[in-house]
Amino acid sequence: MKKRIAILGSTGSIGTQALEVIDANPDIFGVAVLTARDNADLLIQQAIQFRPKEVVIGNEKLFDKVDAALSSYSIQVYSGDSALVSVVEAEDIDMVLTAMVGYAGLLPTIHAIKAGKDIALANKETLVVAGELITSLAKQHEVNIYPVDSEHSAIFQCLAGEGDNPIEKIILTASGGPFRGKDRAFLADVTKQQALKHPNWSMGAKITIDSATLMNKGLEVIEAKWLFDLRAEQIDVIVHPQSIVHSLVQFEDGSIKAQMGLPDMKLPIQYAMHYPFRLKSSFPRFNFIDYPSLTFEKPDLDTFQNLAIAYQVLEKGGNAACIVNAANEIAVEAFLQDKIGFLGISDVIVESLAKIEYIGNPTYSDYVQTNEATRRFASEMIQVKV
Ligand code: NAD
Ligand code: MG
């Protein structure tokens, strides 16, 4: 029996790499569903190659195009936000890979969990926004959440075989991004072209900017709290520019386990999709002789404020991380449209956190309202500044 995967965000960086994994293992995986927001051409091409039962194009204006292109295949085509959410409930889906970007991942993930589907989670924003809700729903519906993020996959791999051995702490590695070692004066004038040049990974635009501001590592600290049930003080971050050690776990006897390899997201993707089995791969192998010095340094929290903010909201709990996530999404978009500078991203987050109402025990609708209110506030703040 093939494992039937629904890929949400199939046209993105993670989505296309997941399809490469599936293409290389046709006896193990099948594609049940593909979704995308705007890239109709690639979605059509993927649908013709992988023959899912259903595809969803989020942008309703593109429905006719996708529907016409797939009319001679037995593939159902849908469009719009409600289809993006309900398509995960189909009976013949075994696992949902959440590879769309941003807050938009939250509701489809909730629906998938309620429908009893295991989750391969790339969309870290879902756990950042509503980690408490998602992890309790997963428990209630006996659904597993397998991490796709490379650092969390590394931790998850280090935990294999450890049973109930408690974690003393985890150490998340960070490449440091393109501006490692730079000061605020330098960062004030950096362009989006510079920020989009990640030293080690090729990824979507939003996560690439998040990596440059260290917001990505901040989001990952929060993601790790929920995935592995940790307190803030059990989560360390260390800068490791070579991105070979993907993260580490320290146990109560002081022993540290690390997971290593050349940076390639296909490995964590396939580990999540085929857990607990390892799939044979032809990915290039890491060789110690080629990397005589793997180096480690402290992150600079004064310059890269977003990582410090993430720790603050982790302590604060409630809807605080939801506010940070929404403000960051608006600020990153504005930076990519040349509306604010690089350091302005943190300013938007800090002000949003100060202005938007804090809710200690948010419900789902509180998250929705917090997200909307923060987006409105952050957008207005940017408008005034431009
Ligand atoms: P991407 O921008 O390359 O792709 C995003 C995908 O989501 C596209 O298919 C797009 O059509 C779809 N999408 C965008 N907005 C949407 C919306 N509002 N509703 C539905 N679909 C939408 O992004 P990516 O780099 O592949 O990242 C995807 C997720 O995986 C992010 O949460 C990111 O943080 C996480 N992640 C990515 C990497 C990586 O290497 N790219 C690594 C770790 C984690
Ligand atoms: Mg990561």
Q: Are 63 and 77 in contact (CB under 8 A)?
A: yes
* 351: CATH: 1.10.1740.10
The response to whether residue 104 sits with its C-beta less than 6 Å from ligand 1 reads yes
Predicted confidence at residue 386, as pLDDT, reads 65
pLDDT block averages, 10 residues each, the chain of length 386: 97 98 98 98 98 98 98 98 97 98 98 98 98 98 98 98 97 98 97 94 95 98 98 98 98 98 98 97 96 97 98 98 98 98 98 98 98 98 85
Predicted confidence at residue 325, as pLDDT, reads 98
Residue having the nearest C-alpha atom to atom 18 of ligand 1: 104
Q: Are 379 and 373 in contact (CB under 8 A)?
A: no
Q: Are 330 and 375 in contact (CB under 8 A)?
A: yes
The 118-121 sheet, strands edge to edge:
76-79, 54-57, 29-36, 3-8, 95-98, 118-121, 145-147
**C-alpha dihedral sign at 73, 76, 81, 86:** negative
Domain count, the chain: 3
Can you point out the beta strands (E) in 175-244? Answer: 235-239
Last residue of a domain, one of 101, 124, 147: 147
Q: Which amino acid is at 119?
A: I
Last residue of a domain, one of 147, 177, 195: 147
The response to whether residue 203 sits with its C-beta less than 6 Å from ligand 1 reads yes
Distance CA 365, CA 368 (A): 5
* Helix (H) / strand (E) containing 79: strand 76-79
Residue 234 and residue 353 in one domain: no
Residue length of the chain: 386
270 to 22, 105, 299: CA distances (angstroms)? 9, 20, 30
Residue 153 and residue 137 in one domain: no
Residue 81 and residue 138 in one domain: yes
* Backbone phi, psi, residue 78, to 5°: -130, 165
The answer to whether the peptide bond before residue 276 is cis (omega within 30 degrees of 0) is yes
Q: Are 331 and 342 in contact (CB under 8 A)?
A: no
Ligand (nearest to CA of 151): 2
Last residue of a domain, one of 313, 348, 377: 313
Distance CA 379, CA 209 (A): 18
Structure tokens at 144: 């597993």
* 74: CATH: 3.40.50.720
Structure tokens at 265: 């997201």
Helices and strands, counts by H and E, the chain = 16, 11
* Helix (H) / strand (E) containing 220: helix 215-228
The response to whether residue 268 sits with its C-beta less than 6 Å from ligand 1 reads no
Residue 251 and residue 321 in one domain: no
Residue 238 and residue 130 in one domain: no
Residue 305 and residue 335 in one domain: no
From 11, 14, 209, mutation site for ligand 1 pocket: most ligand atoms within 8 A of C-beta: 14
- Which 3 state secondary structure label does DSSP give 75? coil
- Which 3 state secondary structure label does DSSP give 82? helix
Residue 40 and residue 95 in one domain: yes
Ligand 1 atom having least distance to the Cα of 210: 34
Residue 304 and residue 382 in one domain: no
Predicted confidence at residue 201, as pLDDT, reads 86
Residue 154 and residue 105 in one domain: no
The boundaries of the domain holding residue 76 are 3-147
Structure tokens at 207: 């996560």
Residue 167 and residue 135 in one domain: no
* Helix (H) / strand (E) containing 374: helix 364-385
Cross-strand partners of 182: none
Burial (CB < 10 A; 0-12, 13-18, 19+), residue 365, is exposed
CA of 149 to the centre of ligand 2 (A): 5
Cross-strand partners of 146: 120
Residues 6+ apart with CB under 8 A from 310: 215, 217, 218, 219, 221, 222, 321, 324
Nearest Cα neighbor of 267 from 255, 256, 279 is: 279
Residue having the nearest C-alpha atom to atom 36 of ligand 1: 122
Residue 157 and residue 297 in one domain: yes
Residue 265 and residue 291 in one domain: yes
Nearest Cα neighbor of 224 from 280, 300, 260, 172 is: 172
